[in-house]
Amino acid sequence: MPIRYYLYAAVIKEKIPYIDILMEHAGSCREGFFLVGGTVRDFFILNRRIRDYDFVLSGSPFFNAKRFADAINGAYVVLHERFPTARVVKGDCIFDFTSLRGGGIESDLGSRDFTVNALAISLFDNGHEVIDVTGGLDDINNRIIRMVSRDNLAEDPVRLLRAFRLAAELGFAIQRDTLHTISALRGLISGAAAERVWAELKMLLQVSQSTEIVKSAFETGLLLALLPELEPLRGLKQNRFHHLDVFDHTMAAYEAAEAIINNPCLLIPGNLKAWLDRYPHKSALIKLSILLHDAGKYPTRRLSKDGDFSFHRHEHEGAGIAAGILSRFKASAKETEFVTMLVKNHMRILAFKRAWRDAFALMKKPLIRLLNAVGEDIYALVIVWAADSGAKPEGQEQTIDICRDILDFYECQYMPRKTAPRFITGRDLIETFGLIPSPLFSEILGAIKLKTLEGLIDSKDKAASLVEEFLHARGTR
């Protein structure tokens, strides 16, 4: 063991929050109390901030975690009864306590997923040695994700997906034999707990530089095992507006979306970056929607009279496919609604392209209807539009111009008008116009709202005039 790892181990122990209190309350576990896994790994990787601390111990994790929580006034949670695991939360720090597996630390480390996670430090070993029985420290130095064993991956198939997530997060390469094993075991992923798979997939897609790793996950067949609906897209020829088959177009669009998300100001100035910063978790969902945006093309492809292919209403078919996939993953209702909205609306840009420059006034109503439906998620839709266009041989420049115009209209006109005080209220209809509450109220107020958003009404007098016109047209005046 190189001397620098002894020194690092000592430094690591010193940096664990509440380490003195933790060791003071270790009780009979003093000879079997270890800091393990990714926590140890991350201390050896530059600029990896540590907030999660994983411990294994020979005694009861529940008893020791509860004593520790009480001593630091932290929150105590039982995570798993069958595989004894408890958690203590204090501020932004998380401390997980698990029973030592296999009767000793070497056996415990040998049962882990990847060598870079199979590391430990004894809290009570005066030598401060980093325990490494699988070569994890060398793999960290060589920036490699290597499995501990095939059996360990087969035991918990979520680990197959975790390999790609770790590679993306750390900027590591997955070792060849490990890739081959993942490919061979890919069918097992369908039997894994859906909630855990969904959480792992989102973490993978959330990584800012995930394109090449996602491509690799598709090449092994793992992501196609998770998303079999995309298998028919491979080799599926498109029409004259595309130079790639549907699957390759999808991956090109994914790369384009990731580039926009990482540097939104380079393409679309305004509040797009602020929106992404406010909702960072939506980046993963946007990327997933890109993977699924053309899933409806296979069932809707038809040969037209001119000998070209058409995919009529494939966006609606795709939204249904996306909803089914998210249901299978047991995603939340909000996640499902967001992704299916993006898939369903990814073709709406075509209507704006056809008439944008010459007839913007004519496009105001459909644009306002769209904005009323999607709200601030227009920022996500703009990313999808730009990425989809960027994966085609031409037309992106016009799409980007339209996206800029739409966001400018949304930020500078639509939102100020939408959030301004109403010119006419239901009370006004009763007190000023002598109307009795009825369904007519919503018609009148809806018409005023629409014309206000269009910029045709900007005062109470104009709103009142519209009410009079409305009532005269209905014969009530």
% of the chain exceeding 70 in pLDDT: 92
Query: Which of 82, 41, 90 lies closest to 65 in space, CA to CA?
Result: 90
Give residue 268's identity as a one-letter amino acid code: I
Q: Express each pLDDT in 305-324 by its tens digit.
A: 666 777 789 999 999 999 99
Positive or negative, the Cα torsion across 6, 54, 148, 178?
negative
Distance of alpha carbon 193 from alpha carbon 178, whole angstroms: 22
Same fold, 150-223 and 227-419: no
Question: What is the pLDDT, as a whole number, of residue 357?
Answer: 61
Amino acid at 159: R
How confident is the model at residue 410, as a pLDDT?
Answer: 93
The larger pLDDT score, comparing residue 218 to residue 398, is at 218
Query: Is pLDDT above 70 for 128?
Result: no
Residues 443-449: what's their mean pLDDT? 86
Contact 83, 76 (CB under 8 A): no
Q: Where are the domains of the chain?
A: 3-142, 150-223, 227-419, 426-473
Local confidence band at 282 (pLDDT 50, 70, 90 cut-offs): very high
Give the domain 150-223 fold: Hydrophobic Seed Protein (1.10.110)
* DSSP per position, 128-193: -PEEESSSHHHHHHTTEE-BS-HHHHHHSTHHHHHHHHHHHHHTPEEPHHHHHHHHHHGGGGGGS-
pLDDT at 8: 65
Average confidence (pLDDT) over 465-477: 78
pLDDT of residue 4: 55
- The first and second tokens of residue 188, run together, are 């097992």
Q: Which of 148-152, 415-419, 421-425 has the lowest mean pLDDT?
A: 421-425
Say if CB 387 and CB 253 are below 8 A apart: yes
Q: Which residues of 300-315 are buried (b: 16+ CB within 10 A; e: fewer)?
A: bbeeeeeeebebeebb
Higher pLDDT: 361 or 53? It is 53
Q: Is the pLDDT of residue 127 over 70?
A: no
Quick one: pLDDT at residue 341? 97
Helix (H) or strand (E) holding 443: helix 439-454
| pLDDT band at residue 346 under the 50/70/90 scheme | very high
Domain 3-142: give its CATH architecture: 2-Layer Sandwich (3.30)
Structure tokens at 82: 């069958």
> Out of 2-16, 99-113, 149-163, 352-366, which region has the weakest mean confidence (pLDDT)?
2-16
Residues 400-410, mean pLDDT to the nearest whole number = 89
Read off the tokens for 157.
């198939």
Q: Classify domain 227-419 at the CATH topology level.
A: Hypothetical protein af1432 (1.10.3210)
**CA–CA separation, 115 vs 444, rounded Å?**
67
Could you tell me if 87 and 68 are in contact, meaning their C-beta atoms sit under 8 angstroms apart? no
Residue 93 and residue 75 in contact, taking contact as beta carbons nearer than 8 Å: no
Name the residue with higher pLDDT: 275 or 243. 275
More confident site: 15 or 209 = 209
| pLDDT for res 143 | 95
CA distances from residue 304 to 247, 296, 297, 350 in whole angstroms, order as listed:
21, 17, 14, 20
Predicted pLDDT of residue 16 = 86
pLDDT of 307: 65
How many CB atoms lie under 10 A from the CB of residue 375?
Answer: 12
Three-class secondary structure assignment of 176-240: HHHHHHHHHHHHHHHHCCHHHHHHHHHHHHHCCCCHHHHHHHHHCCHHHHHCHHHHHHCCCCCCC
Q: How confident is the model at residue 47 (pLDDT cuts 50, 70, 90)?
A: low
DSSP, collapsed to helix, strand or coil, labels residue 33 as strand
The answer to whether the beta carbons of residues 162 and 72 sit under 8 Å apart is: no
Whole-number pLDDT of residue 194: 96
* End-to-end CA separation in angstroms for the chain: 94
Instruction: Give the model's confidence band at 125: pLDDT under 50 very low, under 70 low, under 90 confident, else very high.
Output: confident
Over residues 358-386, the mean pLDDT reads 87
Tokens representing 252 are: 């090109």
One-letter amino acid for residue 360 of the chain: F
Which tens digit of pLDDT belongs to each residue from 61-94?
Answer: 898 999 999 999 999 999 887 788 999 999 999 9
Nearest CA to 164 out of 229, 248, 220 is that of: 220
- pLDDT tens by residue, 215-264: 999 999 999 999 999 999 998 887 776 678 899 999 999 999 999 999 99
Lowest mean pLDDT among 306-315, 343-352, 423-432, 435-444: 306-315
How confident is the model at residue 319, as a pLDDT? 97
